[in-house]
Amino acid sequence: MKASRVIVTCTLAVAAVVMGYFCVMSVVTPIQFEDTRAAREVAVIKNLVDLRTAEVEFHHQNGRFTASYDTLFHFLKTAPKKELMKEGSLTDKQLEAGLTEAKAVKILENAKKKAQKKNTFADNDELYAYIWANDKEVKDNGLQGFRRDTIETNMLESLYKGEYTAENIEKIAEIPYSNGLRYELEVNNDYKTSQGIRVPLFEARAPFDSYLGDLNEQELVNLNDREKKLEHYTGLKVGDIYSPNNNAGNWE
C-alpha cells in the first residue's frame, strides 16, 4: 500500500514537472523565436536596402530595372557613377535677391562657354579662376568661389563607401542565415499608371522560410499563417511589381 502511494506520488511529481516544463516552454519558445527573428532581420533588411540602392542606380542610368544578378553585378563593377561636386554656397542675401542654385549654375555654364571660345585652359581650376576674375555676370552676382562640376567616380566606392568591392559584391544577393539562398528578384518594366505613364518597378524578397527555417517549426508556421491572414507578404521585401510604392520596404 505504501509502495503504491510512493509510486503515485512520484508519478504525480514527474507529471507536474513535465507540465511545468511545457508551460514554461510555451512562453519561452515564442519569445526566443521573436528575439532571434528580430536580430536576423536587421541583417536581412540591410542587404535589401543595399540591393535597392543598386537597382535604383541601375534604373537611373538605364531607364529600367533588372532581374538578372549577372547584369546587376557587371553594372556595379564597370559603370561609372556621376556625382556633382560642390564648392561654395549661396548666401542669404543672394537667395533673397532671387538667385537660386539653378540660376547660379546656368550663369557659370554660360561664363565657361564664353571663356572657352576665347582661351584654352589647362584644366577646370584654371578655367574657374579665369571666369571668377573676368566674367562680369559672375562678378555681378557674387559667384566668385562658387563651383559645380559633374565628375565620374567608382560606382562601388560611391554607393557603398568601401563595404563592397568587385571581389565580394555578390554577397549583396545572399540572404543572411539562409545557407546561401539569394533574394528573389523580379521586375516589371512595362507597368503603366492610369494616365498611361510608364513606371518601371522592381521587387526584392526574402521569405521567412529562407532565414528562419532552422528555428522552431511551429512558430514559423504560426508566423506565416498570421501574415497570410493579414494579406501580407510572408517575409521581408522592398519594392512592388504591381503598384508603385517608391521602392519602400514592407518594414518601413
Confidence of residue 93 (pLDDT cuts 50, 70, 90): very high
| Residues 83-103, mean pLDDT to the nearest whole number | 92
Are 181 and 76 contacting, i.e. CB atoms less than 8 angstroms apart? Answer: no
141 phi and psi, to 5 degrees? -95, 5
| Residues 90-115, mean pLDDT to the nearest whole number | 93
pTM: 0.74
Packing angle between helix 124-134 and helix 101-118, nearest 10 degrees? Answer: 100
- The SS3 call for residue 111 is helix
| Residues 166-191, mean pLDDT to the nearest whole number | 96
Q: What is the pLDDT of residues 211-235, one digit of tens each?
A: 999 999 999 999 999 999 999 999 9
Element (H, E) at 109: helix 101-118
Confidence of residue 150 (pLDDT cuts 50, 70, 90): confident
* Backbone conformation region of residue 33, classed left if phi is above 0, alpha if psi is from -120 to 50, else beta: alpha
Grid coordinates given for 116: 572657352
pLDDT at 40 over 70: yes
Q: Supply the pLDDT for residue 4.
A: 58
Residue, of 152 and 18, whose pLDDT is higher: 152
Give the DSSP per-residue string, 12-48: HHHHHHHHHHHHHHHHHHHHHHHHHHHHHHHHHHHHH
94 phi and psi, to 5 degrees? -65, -40
pLDDT at 24 over 50: no
Residue, of 132 and 12, whose pLDDT is higher: 132
Q: Supply the pLDDT for residue 85.
A: 86
d(CA 142, CA 90): 9
Of 28-32, 69-73, 181-185, the one with minimum mean pLDDT is 28-32
Q: Supply the pLDDT for residue 35.
A: 96
pLDDT at 12 over 60: no
